[in-house]
């Protein structure tokens, strides 16, 4: 006879195999095994890692139910079930549907919560809280690839799509959805006022002048579900409508009309786009043309026109002032014609102006001679 001594530690379990077949589970301690004509082998498992991933797992579940009940936590999920596995009270793994596993009943307290996902794709709120509390765990939760976690901001909304169909609208908050057996997606939507730029639009006016325009608009969603169920990409649709409205405003007017009334483009584009978007849950708040760029030769022509207009205005003002000055002189002459005193005052004023420009004056014949020699009105 030949005996074989095997020691199993307190934090281990042993699997006794005779000729490769399972015989029994060895508990901690010293075991004497008769090693005769059969081949004995003992495989030990550290209980710090509770998952039993041996190739005999399926055999034990099928043929050794008593051993499984005594030594393992058994997990068998259907196609519509998921499992939340916790170790010592902490969530460590999300088990996918149809999972079949064994976990040792020993050092680590393993529990599996089974959730049916056939009716709803939404993860219960209590489970969502456990998934997001990563700071309370020493390691990351495994299997989170099967869960879609979503944060909807305070100023936004979320559109829930399940298998290509709009399910519902999500209010601000935290959500999670099972991705198993279904295609789940959430599209975030900003409900605040948004800006859109339509830049570099080359458009011909009615009189065939090419203009390049840059337009800015502000808009918001008024009905998110209506917008996304009727339009594949609402923002792109708005951009195209702004382009069409801009062409309608510029292409039907001459350059002079556009320059005389610069707000006509804003008014026409606003009216056009608001009418088009009313049925799509989108509201246009405001439209404004930022820049109107003219061709180089047109800039030169307009500069010449402006220069000529300003020159003409200057000539008109000059002629008006000359006419007013002449009229004033004529009125002064009429007053002095019949008033010797006024004439004398004018003569003295003239003498004063002349004297201001001369350093020295020699007078012969008295003041009357000076005045008579300088000014003769009659």
Q: Read off the CATH number of the domain in which 206 is found.
A: 3.30.479.30
User: Please, what is the end-to-end C-alpha distance for the chain in angstroms?
Assistant: 167
What integer pLDDT is reported at residue 359 of this predicted model? 67
Q: Which two tokens stand for residue 103?
A: 């976990």
Closest among 263, 242, 251, 250 to 197, alpha carbons compared: 242
Closest among 98, 103, 129 to 114, alpha carbons compared: 98
Q: Rounded to the nearest 5°, which phi and psi values hold at 339? A: -140, 95
Cβ neighbours of residue 303 closer than 8 Å, sequence gap 6 or more: none
Domain-embedded: residue 25? no
Q: Is the distance from CB of 255 to CB of 207 less than 8 angstroms?
A: yes
Domain-embedded: residue 125? no
Q: Is the distance from CB of 29 to CB of 42 less than 8 angstroms?
A: no
User: The domain containing residue 350 runs over which residues?
Assistant: 338-378
Domain-embedded: residue 134? no
pTM here is 0.67
* 3-state secondary structure (DSSP) of residue 254: coil
What integer pLDDT is reported at residue 291 of this predicted model? 81
Are 279 and 368 members of one domain? no
Residue with tokens 């700071």: 135
What integer pLDDT is reported at residue 368 of this predicted model? 61
Closest among 197, 194, 181 to 291, alpha carbons compared: 197
What integer pLDDT is reported at residue 378 of this predicted model? 41
Strand pairing class (29-34; 3-8): antiparallel
What integer pLDDT is reported at residue 189 of this predicted model? 93
Q: Is the distance from CB of 17 to CB of 42 less than 8 angstroms?
A: yes
What integer pLDDT is reported at residue 377 of this predicted model? 42
Number of domains in the chain: 2
Average pLDDT of adjacent 10-residue blocks, the chain of 378 residues: 82 90 91 80 91 91 93 94 91 93 91 92 87 67 90 93 91 92 93 92 84 91 91 92 91 83 88 89 91 68 61 76 78 71 69 68 58 51
Strand partners of residue 102: 52, 74
Indicate the residue among 263, 294, 325 that finishes a domain. Answer: 294
Burial of 213: CB neighbours in 10 Å, binned 0-12, 13-18, 19+: buried
What integer pLDDT is reported at residue 104 of this predicted model? 93
């Amino acid at each position: 006879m030949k005996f074989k001594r095997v020691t199993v530690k307190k934090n281990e379990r042993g699997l006794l195999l005779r000729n490769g077949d399972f015989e029994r589970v060895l508990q901690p301690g010293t075991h004497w095994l008769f090693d005769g004509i059969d081949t004995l082998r003992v495989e030990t498992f550290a209980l710090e890692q509770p998952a039993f991933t041996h190739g005999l797992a399926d055999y034990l579940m099928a043929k050794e139910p008593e051993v499984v009940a005594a030594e393992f936590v058994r997990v068998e999920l259907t196609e519509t079930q998921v499992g939340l596995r916790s170790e010592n009270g902490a969530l460590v793994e999300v088990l996918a549907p149809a999972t079949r596993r064994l976990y040792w009943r020993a050092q680590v307290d393993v529990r599996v919560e089974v959730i049916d996902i056939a009716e709803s794709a939404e993860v219960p709120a209590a489970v969502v809280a456990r998934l997001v509390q990563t700071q309370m765990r020493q390691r990351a939760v495994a299997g989170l690839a099967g869960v879609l976690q979503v944060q909807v901001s305070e100023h936004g909304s979320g559109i829930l799509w399940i298998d290509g169909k709009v399910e519902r609208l999500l209010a601000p908050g935290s959500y999670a959805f099972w991705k198993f057996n279904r295609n789940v997606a959430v599209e975030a939507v900003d409900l605040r006022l948004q800006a859109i730029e339509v830049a570099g639009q080359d458009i011909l006016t009615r009189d065939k002048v090419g203009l390049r325009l840059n337009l800015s608009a502000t808009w918001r969603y008024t009905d998110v579900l209506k917008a996304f169920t009727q339009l594949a990409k609402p923002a792109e649709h708005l951009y195209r409508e702004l382009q069409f409205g801009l062409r309608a405003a510029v292409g039907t007017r001459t350059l002079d009309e556009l320059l005389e009334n610069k707000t006509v483009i804003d008014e026409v584009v606003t009216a056009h786009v608001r009418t088009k978007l009313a049925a799509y849950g989108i509201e246009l708040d405001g439209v404004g043309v930022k820049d109107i760029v003219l061709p180089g030769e047109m800039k030169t022509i307009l500069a010449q026109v402006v220069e000529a207009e300003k020159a003409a205005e200057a000539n008109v003002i000059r002629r008006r002032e000359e006419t007013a000055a002449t009229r004033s002189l004529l009125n002064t002459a009429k007053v002095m014609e019949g008033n010797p005193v006024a004439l004398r005052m004018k003569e003295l004023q003239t003498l004063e102006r002349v004297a201001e420009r001369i350093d020295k004056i020699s007078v012969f014949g008295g003041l009357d001679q000076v005045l008579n020699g300088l000014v003769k009105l009659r």
